[in-house]
Amino acid sequence: MRCPFCGHEDTQVKDSRPHEDGAAIRRRRICASCGQRFTTIERIQLRDLIVVKADGRRVPFERDKLARSVRIALRKRPVDEERIERIVNGLVRHLEAAGEPDILSVDIGRRVMETLREVDSVAYIRFASVHWDFRETKDFAAILETISTSVAADTAPREGDDPPIGDK
């Protein structure tokens, strides 16, 4: 592993520990050249995933981008960092286990929304507002009405449901 401080290629592992409930390994390293210490995290990657965007572009899947989106949706909500990591790990495992190397971005968004709906309704609405590209306050009102109705009926909207707004 290359040292991030001096670029030297000879670094030594000083300590290894399971990380994220055993889904990753945290390694403390030291550079043989400059003596700086740094941490790496190694995760299992079953296959390289490609995200197919709505406009047809194909880009490599980025776990960090998914994690950032989930963290933004859950910002200032009563969900600790450890649970967020478990959520992201579960989402990634689900995507990898699907068996397809190409995944539609809309399918990733639906899966994230399904997960967030179970974790925190505010985070669900935040994520939905970006995923469905809300433009007006009536868009928020429609999804709030859907959530209120589903809570009253003790059922949640099903995965793959269309957005509860105008012509989107």
Spans of all domains in the chain: 10-41, 48-148
Which of the residue ranges 57-71, 109-123, 151-165 would you say has the lowest mean pLDDT? 151-165
Query: Which pLDDT does position 160 carry in this prediction?
Result: 55
Can you give the pLDDT at residue 155? 47
Summarised one tens digit per residue, pLDDT across range 97-106 is 888 889 999 9
* Among 36-40, 121-125, 148-152, the range of highest mean pLDDT: 36-40
Q: What mean pLDDT value characterizes the chain?
A: 85
Give the list of residues 6+ apart from residue 61 with CB closer than 8 angstroms, or none.
48, 49, 50, 51, 95, 103
Asked whether the predicted pLDDT for residue 156 surpasses 60, the reply is no
Give me the half-sphere count of Cα atoms (radius 13 Å) on the Cβ side of residue 102: 6
Average pLDDT over residues 3-28: 88
Position 168 scores a pLDDT of 43
- 31 vs 150 pLDDT, higher one: 31
Q: What is the percent of the chain where pLDDT is above 90?
A: 52
- Average pLDDT on 85-109 reads 90
- Note whether 165 and 138 are within 8 A (CB): yes
* Torsion angles phi and psi, residue 14, rounded to 5: -100, -30
The answer, yes or no, to whether residue 77 has pLDDT greater than 80, is yes
Of residues 54 and 45, more confidence is placed in: 54
Distance between CA atoms of residues 15 and 126, nearest Å: 39
pTM assigned to the model: 0.66
User: What pLDDT is attached to residue 151?
Assistant: 57
